[in-house]
């Protein structure tokens, strides 16, 4: 898809942006947002982290071959991905840190 396609389909840009976010980053965010009741905490954390790493590697492999000719759209895609991903990832890392503190000797 080149610039001419984007110019002819300008009205669909937001729709495709939402679709992109849901189909790529949405799946990865969901992995970090899962709350697995009943499983041991350390096993759950390890499993989720492994699944997250696999999904991120797969997404990177696919998207590293993409070309987005519009700089404006490329920057918007980055902003949207960061806004969707970073807060969830930060919260996940904080939760892991708390679990490690609870499990460390002396606590």
- Residues of 3-16 as b/e, b for ≥16 C-beta within 10 angstroms? eeebeeeeeeeeee
DSSP 47-81: HHHHHHHHHHHHHHHHHTT-----HHHHHHHHHHH
Q: What are the per-10-residue average pLDDT scores of the chain (107 residues)?
A: 70 81 85 62 77 91 85 87 90 82 65
* Confidence (pLDDT) at 38: 45
* Confidence (pLDDT) at 58: 92
pTM: 0.67
* Confidence (pLDDT) at 65: 87
With contact defined as beta carbons under 8 Å apart, do 86 and 30 qualify? no
* Confidence (pLDDT) at 97: 82
With contact defined as beta carbons under 8 Å apart, do 52 and 31 qualify? yes
Q: Which domains does the chain have, with CATH numbers?
A: 3-102 (1.20.1280.170)
* Confidence (pLDDT) at 39: 47
């Amino acid at each position: 898809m080149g610039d001419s396609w984007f110019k002819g389909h300008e009205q669909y840009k937001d729709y495709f942006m939402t679709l992109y976010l849901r189909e790529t980053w949405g799946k990865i965010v969901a992995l970090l947002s899962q709350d697995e009741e009943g499983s041991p905490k350390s096993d759950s954390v390890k499993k989720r982290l492994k699944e997250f790493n696999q999904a991120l590697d797969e997404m990177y492999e696919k998207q590293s071959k993409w070309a987005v000719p519009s700089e404006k759209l490329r920057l918007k895609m980055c902003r949207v991905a960061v806004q969707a991903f970073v807060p969830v990832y930060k919260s996940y890392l904080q939760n892991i840190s708390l679990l490690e503190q609870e499990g460390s000797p002396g606590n």
